[in-house]
Amino acid sequence: MHFEENTMRIPVLIAALAISTNAFAADTPRATDFKWMSGCWGYESGGSSYEEHWLAPSGNTILGIAHRDADGYTRDFDYLRIVTSGTGFDFVSQPKGDPELRYGMTTQKKGSSVTFESLSGLGFPTRITYEYTAPDSLKVRFEGRSEANQPMMNIFPMKRKSCSVN
């Protein structure tokens, strides 16, 4: 009788384990949560332009590069990546190839928006938000304080563009 009771418990334990494993997998952060950012995006205003190019997510990372041109010259460039971390995701920026700046994810609406805040709280920007509107709009907003300690915000309402090389 005791053997039959234990035998009956095994399927129940297996089912409970399967349910808890699926629930854990659904909550586990994955770089594929940001596939909506993949591709080439651009914004132009006057004599300047801003572009971001994001590769498709791979493993625990999505890689990107940003650059701003004005008057025919590259004024800024930035190596970008979004990586899984112990708390969800981190946005890592290396402006002009300098040492990395790390931002922790504070809010996410899967498939359409994400906000990261500076882990050091220093410099500009201290907050970066991406908002996607299907099928072809990606707005990036940089917020923080200027060197004179005044509130500052830069917004780039980008449109999807061709990734072709001329």
CATH of the domain at 58: 2.40.128.20
Q: Does the residue 26 lie in any domain?
A: no
Q: Does the residue 88 lie in any domain?
A: yes
Mean pLDDT rounded to a whole number for the chain: 86
pLDDT band at 122 (very low <50, low <70, confident <90, very high): confident
Q: Does the residue 5 lie in any domain?
A: no
The whole domain housing 62 covers: 31-161
Q: Does the residue 148 lie in any domain?
A: yes
Q: Does the residue 25 lie in any domain?
A: no
Structural domain count of the chain: 1
Q: Does the residue 38 lie in any domain?
A: yes
Q: Does the residue 98 lie in any domain?
A: yes
Say which residue, 119 or 22, is predicted with more confidence.
119
Mean pLDDT of 126-147: 96
pTM of this structure: 0.81
Q: Which residues pair with 79 in a beta bridge?
A: 65, 94
pLDDT band at 9 (very low <50, low <70, confident <90, very high): low
